[in-house]
Structure 1
Amino acid sequence: MTINPSRSRIAKRRFTTLIRGLGIGLALIALTNSLAMGVAHSDAGPHHMTVSEAVLVPVNVPGTTPLAAAAVNLSQYGYSEREYYAEGSAHRYRGAVSNSLKTAEIIDAGWHYKTRVLVRTPRPGAFNGTLVVEWANVTVGQDIDFAWAESYDHLMRAGYAVAVVSAQRVGVEHLKRWSPARYGDLDVAADNTDPATNGPVDVCGMPNCAQVDPLSWDVMTQIAASLKANKAPAQPLPGRTVKRVLAMGESQSAGRLSTYYNAIQPLYGFFDGFVFLDRASQLRADLRTPAVSVDSEAWSTMFPAKTVGSSFVRHWEVAGSSHASLDAGTYVDRMVLRDQSIMGPSGPLSFSSAIGDCAIKPYFSAVNTKVVLNAAVESVNRWVTTGKPAAPSSYFDRAQAGSIARDSDGQVVGGVRLPSFTAPTSANHAGNIGAGLCFLVGAHVPYSADQLHDMYGTHRRYLKQVDAALKVAKQDGYVLPGDAWAIRSEAARSSVGS
């Protein structure tokens, strides 16, 4: 057969055009799918500034131990913990203040700091590639890792590396008083006067607080960058390669991280995702960094949720929950008493004792916020890794005036409703009565066997209510399958309703 060269060329052109058309079409389909999914893109890019790295040096002071070291047996999970001094040179920023939705500006550079970071590391083969960096909370005058206290079991079972950064002067000054031998030369202080305006660079944002932290933004970023780089000689995560870095913080720290998200993240685009616990403030809608905020009923009652306005931000309000759960409160009590780091007139105090004398005891709601926080961590990590967004925001119903809507029994309407709220074994109070922080502390008053029998009639009816709540929470994405299984198993082993 004779082939006509001109027809062959025409056919070739048609075939090439078809292939190109298919390629463009497939690309458009992929783009459309990505937009529909809300694919997470870090705000990092070539137009962002380079992050400097802190210098990390292992702490080795004979006869002393770290303050706020993990209050759980890490070796049972295959984890180890090491404390490092972190030293670097920080910028000061104009506009990195609460409620600002604008990118900060650099005022100047060259401000030396030295602080510390605790690093909790899984076995090399168990590491999932994600480092979670918690901004230590300093509300009670010392470093406390409240988010870790809630979620440590899941973080370690899932193979996260975890670091806790002492970013603020309140915490650093307490470290120095607690152990001068170990921490005496730490310093994160800096001049807080803006030379252009003569106004303050940083605002504390806490009641009765005289200390400010203009260097805290770079302290957090530079330490996280060093951990991700994982360079010798310190090599804080030996044999591990960090692929993703998430920032996490609770309450006061969540407020600082909200400012970080709005003002500092656009400059560097360093963190891949954010997890807030009680709660994120209003976050910018023009950033594409995934963020989930888990918010307690106690906090939401006193401070109504902000308008989100971003497809990359979620708020999950947890019905019946106090500012710190019973799980976290118990953990922090154990840690603080071990360290004897809060002192009263008659000696060491627990965290619970330091809160004050609230009317309802025992303190803290037994609604297990940790399982929702676990889901938040996993959702942000998955969002960053695969582009699959977290479950939608889940808010409490609100009256026209903005107050939380409640049913005839006084129970909050809406939000994430766990079995510990819908099928409780104790009367859980999101808030409490008394001075100071009592409004956030909450309480749980265990029901007697007779009360539980009156409530549920039979063990089977109790399990049916547990199952109903778990089914919804798991299907909606607010509880992980493993946590749902654990909750169901514990309920099945109980004698509730018998």
Structure 2
Amino acid sequence: MSTLHKTLSGLSVRRAALLLLPVALAGAMIAVPPATAQTPTPVAVPTAALSEVNVPGTSPMSATAVDLAAVGYTAREFYAEGQANGYAGATAGALTTASVLDGGNPYRTRVMVRYPKADRFNGTLAVEWTNVTIGVDFEFAAAEASEYLLREGYAVAVVSAQRVGVERLKTWSPARYAGLSVDVNKCGDGGTSLCTGDPLSYDIFAQVTQALKGNVGGAAAPMPGLKVKDAIAIGQSQSAGRLAVYYNTVQPLHDVFEGFALWDRSGQLRSDLTVPAIGVASEGLGGSFGGARWTTSEYTRKWDIAGATHASLYGAEYIEAIAQRDQSIQAPDGQPITFFQWIEPACVKLPPFTTVDVGLVYNKAIDSVRTWSRTGKPAAPSRSFVTTDAGTVVRDADGKVEGGIRLPQFVVPTADQGALNGPAFPCNVSGWHRYYSDAELKAMYKTHAQYVSKVRKVMTPLVSEGYVLPADAAAAIRDAARSDVAR
């Protein structure tokens, strides 16, 4: 796509963009009763107190490996503290508004912020809930959309809201992160045992966002000179699941976010809210965890991507650069390992991940949510995998999933690949790929001109249908033309 990808330290430049054929119709989805409309009593969301981290000789853990200065961005890290509520009813699968269980629970965490100069700022703050599945804070959503976010002038905040991530910060750099805590020891019962489930995380995420939206302090503000008009919540996998809980149960109380763009594992969203939300889903997760079937409504969408894995190859490389630099992922024996080393032991085929460029669709999801919130123009319709009555994805005679958004890398590929890879997590949802040889590509596409023509014919309707941005389609076609495929 854009040249920003080349600014990633140690990462290979993206392979030529590949091609997609017309998309199959969305499959049937389970009928879920709509949530009952409610008029909840709003809960005031105070702003977290922000103070910039300044510990000489240390650096932020899990900061992006992109050269932000080269694209005119400033990066800062802040401590964030305040007092948070716990909520009753903020649980997975709940489709009704939560209620305050208790309040006054102190927390102190951190948030990484990056922002452009004021004349390049588009007015929107994208706020990522970090994924802590590996035991470390990682920004898997921004990994897929980084080029778009920087190109279009978003401000980006990456919030550490959960205990696992915060505790790893403290062991990784005690000097920088001593004193951080998102624990609560009441659990609503007066006891002293540590609560599980990160009950403060929803208020932490919202209060940090509120502070950045306000952006007070003039020259001393966290993002000097920027006027934030709206905030979009982003997150992937377990973070998308927690954001789905937030959307369904806490957002109606807070009304902090103007939109949600969730990457993989968002699940069922309420049908009675008017806050735009798009869940982008991979074949890897839908085909392995049964995540292919849930309903959408007037203000929600579900966009499934055929051939996509739980992280794209490009998103995985983004995380790999961070993990290699920080040596933050630990093996069971305590030794540092990279992200790929964490993935690969469960793989039947190597290397993992497919070349299907999730960012092409996820970029459009973020953009569509922003436009929808600002102008009222709805996003493109849901497009799902075809499923059986039992919820299994339907595959053709060649084993290809039917339905969903079918990107070039899936339909006219430059690699043999699959979205599933054995029975064990995490590789079962991470897939595999093998790039075709020059001879194979020549046999498949005959001439370079034919290959480029196919890319163009597929990308063009995806733009008009509303699933890919014009700039991204143009970059994909340009990359195909510059490639050596079938020359």
For normalisation by structure 2, the TM-score amounts to: 0.88
Amino acid paired to 1:132: A
> 1:201: how far off?
11
> Which amino acid is 1:227 matched to?
L
Q: Which residue does the alignment assign to 1:307?
A: 294
Counterpart contact for 1:422–1:465, Cα < 8 Å: no
SS at match of 1:113: strand
Q: Secondary structure at the match of 1:424?
A: coil
The partner residue of 2:439 within 418, 432, 450 is 450
How far 1:494 sits from its partner (Å)? 1.2
Aligned to 1:79: 73
CA distance in 1, matches of 2:150, 2:244: 25
In 2: Cα distance, 1:468 partner to 1:408 partner: 25
Among candidates 404, 408, 414, match of residue 415 of structure 1? 404
Deviates more, 1:161-170 or 1:399-408: 399-408
Does the CA contact (< 8 Å) of 1:396 and 1:412 recur in 2? yes
Aligned to 1:23: none
Whole-Å Cα distance in 2 between the matches of residues 480 and 382 of structure 1?
12
- Check whether the contact 1:68–1:336 (CA below 8 A) recurs between aligned residues: yes
Do residues 161 (structure 1) and 161 (structure 2) align?
no
The 8 Å contact of residues 328 and 336 in structure 2, kept in 1 or not, is answered as: yes
Matched, 1:424 2:409: no
**1:122 Cα deviation (Å)?**
0.6
Amino acid aligned to 2:252: P
State the Cα deviation string for residues 447-473 of structure 1 (Å, max 9, x = none): 011111111111122122212221221
Matched, 1:212 2:193: no
Preserved CA contact (<8 Å) 1:118 1:165 = yes
Query: How many angstroms does 1:318 deviate by?
Result: 0.3
Q: Is the 8 A contact 2:128 2:157 kept in 1?
A: yes
Query: Over residues 64-107 of structure 1, what are the superposed CA-to-partner deviations in whole Å (9 max), with x where a residue is unaligned?
Result: 00001111100121101000000000011111010011111111
Task: State the SS of the aligned residue for 2:126.
Answer: strand
Deviations 1:281-316 (A, max 9, x none): 211111000001110000111223343242100010
Q: Is the 8 A contact 1:122 1:160 kept in 2?
A: yes
Is the contact between residue 417 and residue 473 of structure 1 (CA under 8 Å) also seen in structure 2? no
Work out whether residues 304 and 403 of structure 1, in 8 Å CA contact, stay in contact via their aligned partners in 2. Answer: no
C-alpha spacing 1:400/1:92, structure 2 compared with 1 (3 Å): closer
Q: Tell me the number of residue pairs that the alignment of Structure 1 and Structure 2 aligns.
A: 446
- SS of the residue corresponding to residue 231 of structure 2 reads strand
- Alignment-mate amino acid for residue 244 of structure 2: S
SS at match of 1:384: helix
CA RMSD between the two structures: 2.0
> Are the aligned partners of 1:417 and 1:469 in contact in 2 as well (CA < 8 Å)?
no
2:263 corresponds to which residue? 277
2:341 matched to 1:353?
yes
Instruction: Summarize deviations over 1:195-230 as a string: whole Å, max 9, x none.
Output: 39x9x997xxxxxxxx52010010000000000111
Letter in 1 for 2:343: I
Name which of 165, 180, 185 aligns with 2:179.
Answer: 185
Distance 2:227 2:216 in 1: 11
Aligned twin of 2:475: 486
Q: Indicate the SS of the match to 1:337.
A: helix
Q: Does the aligned pair in 1 maintain the 2:292–2:387 contact within 8 Å?
A: no
- Which amino acid is the alignment partner of residue 367 of structure 1? V
**What secondary structure is seen at the aligned counterpart in 2 of 1:401?**
coil
State the secondary structure of the residue aligned to 1:107: strand
- Runs of 5+ unmatched residues, structure 2: 1-36
Match of 1:239 among 225, 230, 243: 225
* Alignment-derived partner of residue 277 in structure 2: 291
- The reply to whether residue 337 of structure 1 matches residue 331 of structure 2 is no
DSSP 3-state at the match of 1:439: helix
Per the TM alignment, residue 401 of structure 1 is displaced from its structure 2 partner at its CA by 2.5
Q: 1:80 to 1:222 in 2, by over 3 A?
A: same
Q: With structure 1 as the length reference, what TM-score do the two structures score?
A: 0.86
Please say if 1:323 is aligned against 2:317. Answer: no
The answer to whether the aligner puts 1:470 opposite 2:459 as a matched pair is yes
Whole-angstrom distance in 1 between the partners of 2:405 and 2:253: 34
Shift of 1:49: 2.6
1:226 aligns to 2:215 (yes or no): no
Counterpart CA distance in 2 for 1:283 and 1:348 is: 38
Contact residue 128 and residue 139 of structure 2 kept, 8 A: yes
Cα distance, 1:356 vs structure 2: 3.5
- Structure 1 match to 2:353: 364
1:369-397 deviation digits (Å, cap 9, x = unpaired): 01100000100000011110110000011
Instruction: Give the conservation status (yes or no) of the 8 Å contact 2:292–2:385.
Output: no
SS in 1 for 2:481: helix
**Equivalent position to 1:459, from 419, 443, 448:** 448
User: Hey, what's the Cα distance between the residues in 2 that align with 1:66 and 1:385?
Assistant: 34
Once residues 160 and 421 of structure 1 are traced to their aligned partners in structure 2, the CA distance between those partners, rounded to angstroms, is 29
**Residue 306 to residue 265, structure 1, CA distance change in 2 (3 Å):** farther
CA distance in structure 1 between the partners assigned to 2:255 and 2:194 by the alignment: 22
Report the Cα distance in structure 2 between the residues aligned to 1:306 and 1:111, rounded to whole angstroms.
Answer: 37
Q: Deviations over 1:339-390 (max 9, x none)?
A: 0111345943110101242121111110000110000010000001111011
Letter in 2 for 1:336: A
Q: Report matched runs for 1:137-156 at 5 Å.
A: 137-156=131-150
The letter for the 1-side match of 2:226 is R
Are 2:130 and 2:158, in contact at CA under 8 Å, matched by a contact in 1? yes
Query: Counterparts of 2:310 and 2:186 in 1: how far apart (Å)?
Result: 31
For the 8 Å contact 2:296–2:382, the answer to whether it is kept is no
Closer, same or farther: CA 164–306 of 1 in aligned 2, 3 Å: same
Farther off after superposition, 185-194 or 245-254: 185-194
Q: Which moved more, 1:287-296 or 1:431-440?
A: 431-440
For residues 377 and 424 of structure 2, the distance between their equivalents in structure 1, rounded to whole angstroms, comes to 44
Contact 1:293 1:315 in 2 (8 A): yes
Return the offset for 1:46: 11
Q: Helix, strand or coil: the match of 1:451?
A: helix
What is the rounded CA distance, in whole Å, between the counterparts of 1:341 and 1:69 in structure 2?
11
Q: Could you tell me how far apart the structure 2 residues matched to 1:192 and 1:128 are?
A: 42
Query: Does the 8 A contact of 1:79 with 1:121 survive in 2?
Result: yes
Letter of the 1:282 partner, please give it: Q
Partners of 1:484 and 1:164 lie apart in 2 by 28
CA distance in 1, matches of 2:405, 2:296: 20
User: C-alpha distance in 1, partners of 2:429/2:65?
Assistant: 23
Residue 37 of structure 1 corresponds to: none
User: In the TM superposition, what is the alpha-carbon distance from 1:237 to its structure 2 partner?
Assistant: 1.1
- Whether 1:108 aligns to 2:102 is yes
Identity %: 47
Q: Partners of 1:116 and 1:257 in 2: how far apart?
A: 18
State whether structure 2 residue 159 is matched by structure 1 residue 174.
Answer: no
Structure 1 residues 192, 282: CA separation in 2 closer, same or farther (over 3 Å shift)? Answer: farther
Deviations 1:26-76 (A, max 9, x none): xxxxxxxxxxxxxxxxx9x99623211100000000110000111110012
